[in-house]
Amino acid sequence: MLPTKGGEAHSGTVMLNGLPAVFFYLFAFVAIASAFMVIAARNPVHSVLFLILTFFNAAGLFLLTGAEFLAMILLVVYVGAVAVLFLFVVMMLDVDFAELKSGALQYAPIGALVGIILVGELIVVLGGYAFSPRLAATTGQPTPPLAERANTAALGDVLYTHYLFAFQLAGMVLLVAMIGAIVLTLRHKANVRRQDINQQVARVPETAIEIRKVRTGEGV
């Protein structure tokens, strides 16, 4: 869903200016800063909140490139579901994150080394790659120009029209995963009380309520 401004994107010389540039640098800076805070914050709840801030800024970056659908999905799925789930886990499982992180600094040199190597490799790869000259002719699902097809519609084309078959099959795979999880883990234990709605509905005051005479000052 990257914008291709008259083919300039291929040569890597797209320059942002004006208002988009301001917003790009704003979102990018806040995203990186809050991502750093995710690992630096002492309080795990703060970490998750910073993570949510990172997601919001990433969504802003998506909006700038014209991928409004991905931006919304990022918010709905990651902020709405995943991050909130993290928040629950962090708050409910009383994990001592400070202790977990206490050794982190001693691994920092190795971490930094790995990071530097990765960055170096990325520079080599991104600096040296080129698209095949015939790619435009052979691409199965070329990204339509933004002006012709909004990207929500373009994604819909891909998912529900061209790849309908694969999409439905993915549904079957998920069904198998669900059946599998139930087959392998569900056990009906004898001493576990299960909710029986029929039984609940069939309750009547005669069987459910017991009237006792309580003497004053003696309790039940």
Partner 1 sequence: MLPDLRSSIALASPELFLAIAAMVLLMIGVSVGRKATLLVTSLAIVALAVAAVWVAGFSHDGAAFGGMFVMDSFARFAKVLALAGSAATLLMGYNFIRAARFDTIEFPVLIVLCTLGMMVMISAGDMLALYMGLELQSLAIYVLAASNRDSLRSTEAGLKYFVLGALSSGMLLYGISLVYGYTGNTSFAAIAQALAADQRQLGLVFGLVFVLAGLAFKISAVPFHMWTPDVYEGAPTPVTAFMAAAPKMAAIALTVRVTMDAFEPIAADWRQIVIFISIASMALGSFAAIGQRNIKRLMAYSSIGHMGFVLVGLAANSQEGVRGVALYMLIYLVMTLGTFAFIMSMRRTTGHVENTDELSGLASTNPVMATVMTLLMFSLAGIPPLAGFWAKWYVFLAAINAQLYTLAVIGVLTSVVGAYYYLRVIKIMWFDEPVGGFLPMSGELRAVLGFSGAFILLYIVFGGPIGRVASAAAASFF
Binding-site ranges for partner 1 (CB under 8 A): 132, 134-135, 138-140, 161-166, 169-170, 172-173, 175-177, 179-180, 182-184
Cβ distance to partner 1 smaller for residue 108 or 126: 126
Cβ distance to partner 1 smaller for residue 199 or 207: 199
| CA–CA–CA angle 196, 201, 207 (5° rounding) | 100
Q: Which of 140, 172, 173 is nearest to 157 (CA)?
A: 140
Cβ distance to partner 1 smaller for residue 12 or 133: 133
CB 2 to partner 1: min, Å: 16
- Collapse the DSSP code of 139 into the 3-class scheme (helix H, G, I; strand E, B; otherwise coil) and give the result: coil
CB 126 to partner 1: min, Å: 14
CB 122 to partner 1: min, Å: 16
Burial, 80: exposed, middle or buried (Cβ in 10 Å; 0-12, 13-18, 19+)?
middle
57 neighbors 69 (Cβ within 8 angstroms): no
Cβ distance to partner 1 smaller for residue 98 or 173: 173
CB 125 to partner 1: min, Å: 12
**In sequence order, which residues have a C-beta less than 8 Å from that of residue 57 and are 6 or more positions away?**
27, 28, 30, 31, 34
